[in-house]
Structure 1
């Protein structure tokens, strides 16, 4: 059995006199009525029939009603059916704007299941996901020209023909597959989590889910390959509310994010914990206009939560917990009372969910005793697509449930249940970590790195970057003459950015323990950035180098160096952008940091921006939201 190493984690011992019910804790006693026999698209169609003129989507100034969205999705569903899509066939969604909602709805209406494909992912990653999921058709926009398997349907080009706007008759059940979402895999390749219609309906229509209804607006800030998009999208559209999409990158820039929230009249927002932490440090008051702000993805810290609570006292702040396998979240903690607390709990099981703290023999442990968290209820996904052995390892029969055939998911998270019933996160029973809200298996990163010629050995661990966010650190043994930049590029061409280590540390060898395992405690620490100011380049370039050094926490070497090669990612880019804006006195676009990735180019771009600030202010005003022809959202489908 695993062991925990700190006194605080061991505290409590066995509770003498505790009843079995007290020890077991949440046994899904919070069962509440919800439409568990309905499908996702069926519930959406109810609202399209009831309120056809109500706004459903707002993207880039375009407003589309429920009735219009229903007709657009019906047309595409007919097209998919003509292409052979039927029961549980997989359809890839490689698109970023509001068309992805049309594509997801159409896929479900045709009886299929959608597979989110982030256009920003490397080509090899996208192709692997398509092969593994058995994708037969890919719905895509113009964000990428990567060739993918299956027939391609471009959603932003005119159609050569017109499909019917009537609804299809499809045999879809609550247990039917709705989507497949890929997560990092410990075997070296990502694995697809198979989620059904009932799982989604439980998430957004249970009694204590986030309160959304007609007249409310939820913001879609999450990438479609991140399971928070499930909560945002279907939370709005299955409750008669409006979904407002954001411009890419706006969520990272406080001033623009605040303006987006005000213009969209946002009521409900979800953010990854790492992003909430950044806003809490820079501009915690941007959420004052929001009624409900939830966050999750990794362990929250008290400083962040208290800063947002002080700045936004009227905003309900909720810490959500749950892996993709449980359909976004299964426990929640409302952060209204943290006086005297030393940690932010992950709360209690939500409606139609259950949470058990068990030992390695699946026996409930007493309160205030560490154990592993198992989650049950209607949010438990079907399993891992095409991986019965992995499914059997993690998805187990639920011995505490009253329903026949119920299952529970083994999370691998170590927790303890406090005396008041709240769950407290303690750590992991394995190597899995969270980086910027994404699940990361270091073994997957190591496996990809080992495919690089000239790499003798590698171990990937975790640390904290200069912004106090979790990051990956790769200690590598390289052949003579090889540098880490080539290794970083090799990895970046094969995995998403959150799987690329922030720091690569070359070593002569990896230290081993007496039993032959890597001694992580003996690994050398990454070189910290020097305190002395940088001297390379002219005055403007030196200023950029100093900002990079402060933000990234690494020494910026002289010569031509690229921001991503130093571990620069989206959150770090937002911090650099903020510092550049403050230094120059103009609103520096976030995109500039990546479009001009060297200190010299970045300094020149900011100088040019400063010189034309007045003209820039006149030409970058956000367009007002107007009601347009829905055909402009989805012009048609290519034959």
Structure 2
């Protein structure tokens, strides 16, 4: 047994009827199931104590593994340290909040430390409350003041954060230090916090609130177990699935099934949980590479992320190969468009891949209905992707205003009851959302949760028909428009304001704020949007439209439909075409290039775009990242507009991007004053230690060729190779080191040699010898038969500091490429040739005008000893030999 998630036996009842003929809506939609009666942590601990429970691979590629026994011992100690640190009343007793809950707030980034902390919180008898470091400070203060946690666990250095007020806070490092001398045995019942509730709260998750303040959902132990047990039964883990991924933000309810589903499952265990850093989760290339590395078989994601992944993998066969192991795809958090589901099966075909559409909310433990698709025939019912049928021990009702069932086929408001329903909100907020169930057939169904959604039953399945109130979903986040509006009207420049949603639930959905400024105040939409960032999350910032007056109906209410028509017309007039593009502010000379740029960005970012695409918008604020920035540049090049990578990623606005673009086919580098942040030095023995460190960190465990080998080369093999070639690297004087101009630390090295004076003998042993033999095999014919005769520079290895962001690394890489080219030209070299095996560097080479001379399928290579060292590589994994003239 783990913490206060007790063993729970669920009753067995009749299964779901095969069709709904002869049943009313609500009778059909009650579903029952048969489950295991226990969770599996204790069994895994007893039978497989040395099995890896958690793997955490940080952004540098460093890996930490924790066994079940280590996790048990550490979390038991942490639980005792938590109990010794919680806030207490004057009598020395831990002080529950007004709901009777002991809450511990957790403000830690994704890591194995986070999961161990959550385990410890449960073992201490408390409920965890995730805090998002990116949330506005006022929102965090409200959450803490309302929920009144007995302890806040945060990152080192943040213990005195003013948002915490006078609440008890300590860092994980301090908590771990306090736990070291404590007992590692299981905590007895008398040692843990005692809840007065029969069904204790296990977590509190804050969502958008209809009163303008976010509200905390109190999630019960029984709700978590019911949701997990349904998943184990109806979406079972396959035997070949040994490792599972936790990538969803802890503030999202979907994180519950990601974390606890695999490690608590009582059958066919044990399993391993891969914990992904946020920086990798937001980078499709790195995320998919990591998922492929650990052979992840299922993924939970919002439709906008699914679209981004399909876009990325559609760029090349190499990218698509990253999805070979992913068989089960689960969409939730926002409506799934039929076109996206069609694209899914077009990408994968049918048979081995399954796509699910889940429906629910935090108040319903994330999901209460689901729809399974295995072929394109399963996608559409009545022109929509269904939200499906209920989970076990869940009842769905479609009711009218009198709470009576509507006939089959008619739209009704969707209510839910059963074990998945939460215990309400913190402090009893919005109690009208949880009401007595007049149709209850069992005590477990005595309360209804009013979802605020419309739905109808067609052909035995539920179809989502929109919202009844002001709540919408933005990339999986619930956004209450009244909360956004409350922040808007607090802006001192705003006299009157209203926030609406254009086409809610559709691919071109957009939150829009209509503003009448104070008399005599000159304010821009951008000014207001920036001021709102202190009150609501970035994803909820509306597109602001300034109006002279708000239109009103005869009853005195704001005419919302007129405002939405105004927004729709303004989009049409400005060339938006439903994509969120706004061409206002572009002069006649900028219009053609601006329209190309904005539409390209809209195509690349798709429905994941975070706001209107305007001249004032920032590409990365809109949702861009290192990979899709390179893709955008590549697509612009194809359309006749050139810009360097560095110019693009350093631009503060899309207007800056426009100023740096040119139509000559050669990137405009006139605006590279930002490169003053770097110091260029010719590589020599002063840089030896830094060069070895950076190359070792960049290549060990990450090089695309080497990681396909079994086993992969050791780190020392790369160091020994550098030892052998170092005298030539220094001798030729064509290699460079790049320093940060502020810190003076080396952040990148590019190693090159004169192709006519390379070492004939190098210190090769182990697996790395196969890589060098392979490179000779594909490069020597190119050198002898294709390259021009004369002085040639060979780009041997390039690496950047692993503690930099992806965006910074791309900038450093392009800077080195440009400087190496200048240096090669100065030294009389005809050009540079290199071999790239990474999809990202291959794409960068294309953007930087490298010519492809040879493309080779890696797994076809046969070594001189007759073996195939890269046979584990995918068929679409390629090595590309490229050339660039000086």
| Same-fold status (TM-score > 0.5) | yes
Q: Is residue 75 of structure 2 the alignment partner of residue 73 of structure 1?
A: yes
Q: Is residue 306 of structure 2 the alignment partner of residue 276 of structure 1?
A: yes
Query: Could you tell me which of 394, 397, 409 is aligned with 1:356?
Result: 397
Aligned-partner Cα distance in 2 for 1:461–1:548: 25
Go from structure 1 to structure 2 and tell me whether the alpha carbon gap of 1:402 and 1:54 turns closer, same or farther (over 3 Å shift): same
Shift of 1:279: 2.5
2:291 is aligned to 261
Query: Could you tell me which of 504, 517, 530 is aligned with 2:583?
Result: 530
Q: Secondary structure at the match of 1:159?
A: helix
Q: Secondary structure at the match of 1:261?
A: helix
Aligned-partner Cα distance in 2 for 1:303–1:31: 33
**Is the deviation greater in 139-148 or in 424-433?**
139-148
Q: Is residue 510 of structure 2 the alignment partner of residue 474 of structure 1?
A: no
Query: Could you tell me which of 350, 354, 358 is aligned with 1:320?
Result: 358
Q: Superposed, which structure 2 residues align to 1:147-546 within 5 Å?
A: 147=162, 148-149=164-165, 150-156=167-173, 159=177, 162-169=181-188, 170=192, 171=194, 175-206=199-230, 208-212=233-237, 216-239=242-265, 240-283=270-313, 285=320, 286-312=322-348, 313=350, 314-339=352-377, 341=381, 342-387=383-428, 390-397=430-437, 399-403=439-443, 406-419=446-459, 421-463=460-502, 468-479=507-518, 480-501=521-542, 503-523=543-563, 524-525=566-567, 526-527=570-571, 528=574, 529-530=582-583
- CA shift digits 1:35-89 (9 cap, x unpaired): 3xx6xxx753443233222222111122212221122211110011112376731
Shift of 1:541: 11
Go from structure 1 to structure 2 and tell me whether the alpha carbon gap of 1:398 and 1:111 turns closer, same or farther (over 3 Å shift): farther
Aligned-partner Cα distance in 2 for 1:142–1:594: 31
1:629 is aligned to none
Shift of 1:27: 4.6
**Is the deviation greater in 196-205 or in 210-219?**
210-219
Shift of 1:114: 0.6
Contact preservation (8 Å) 1:383, 1:395:
no
Query: Could you tell me which of 121, 126, 137 is aligned with 1:112?
Result: 126
Shift of 1:117: 0.4
Q: TM-score, normalised on structure 2?
A: 0.60
Query: Could you tell me which of 46, 56, 60 is aligned with 1:59?
Result: 56
Contact preservation (8 Å) 1:216, 1:241:
yes
Aligned-partner Cα distance in 2 for 1:315–1:49: 35
**Is the deviation greater in 106-115 or in 116-125?**
116-125
Q: Is residue 560 of structure 2 the alignment partner of residue 563 of structure 1?
A: no
Shift of 1:540: 12
Shift of 1:108: 0.8
Aligned-partner Cα distance in 1 for 2:131–2:403: 37
Shift of 1:399: 2.1
Contact preservation (8 Å) 2:399, 2:413:
yes
Shift of 1:163: 2.5
Contact preservation (8 Å) 1:454, 1:478:
yes
Contact preservation (8 Å) 2:334, 2:476:
yes
Answer with 1 or 2: which has the greater Rg: 2
Contact preservation (8 Å) 1:288, 1:311:
no
Q: Secondary structure at the match of 1:386?
A: helix
Q: TM-score, normalised on structure 1?
A: 0.82
1:134 is aligned to 148
Aligned-partner Cα distance in 2 for 1:83–1:426: 48
Contact preservation (8 Å) 1:26, 1:348:
no
Contact preservation (8 Å) 1:376, 1:398:
no
Shift of 1:492: 0.6
Contact preservation (8 Å) 2:201, 2:218:
yes
Shift of 1:338: 4.0
- CA shift digits 1:165-198 (9 cap, x unpaired): 1222235787111010001011010000000111
Go from structure 1 to structure 2 and tell me whether the alpha carbon gap of 1:605 and 1:282 turns closer, same or farther (over 3 Å shift): farther
Shift of 1:268: 1.8
Contact preservation (8 Å) 2:157, 2:171:
no
Contact preservation (8 Å) 1:346, 1:424:
yes
**Is the deviation greater in 446-455 or in 236-245?**
236-245
Shift of 1:522: 1.6
Q: Which of 1 and 2 has higher RCO (CA within 8 Å, sep 6+)?
A: 1
Q: Superposed, which structure 2 residues align to 1:76-95 within 5 Å?
A: 76-84=78-86, 88-95=101-108
Shift of 1:397: 2.8
Aligned-partner Cα distance in 2 for 1:601–1:618: 37
Contact preservation (8 Å) 1:549, 1:556:
no
Aligned-partner Cα distance in 1 for 2:327–2:280: 20
Contact preservation (8 Å) 1:27, 1:401:
no
Aligned-partner Cα distance in 1 for 2:55–2:673: 32
2:770 is aligned to none
Aligned-partner Cα distance in 1 for 2:463–2:633: 39
Contact preservation (8 Å) 2:419, 2:445:
no
Contact preservation (8 Å) 2:613, 2:622:
no
How many correspondences in the alignment?
A: 589
Q: CA RMSD in A?
A: 3.9
Q: Secondary structure at the match of 2:23?
A: helix
Contact preservation (8 Å) 2:408, 2:457:
yes
Q: Secondary structure at the match of 2:145?
A: helix
Aligned-partner Cα distance in 2 for 1:52–1:606: 57
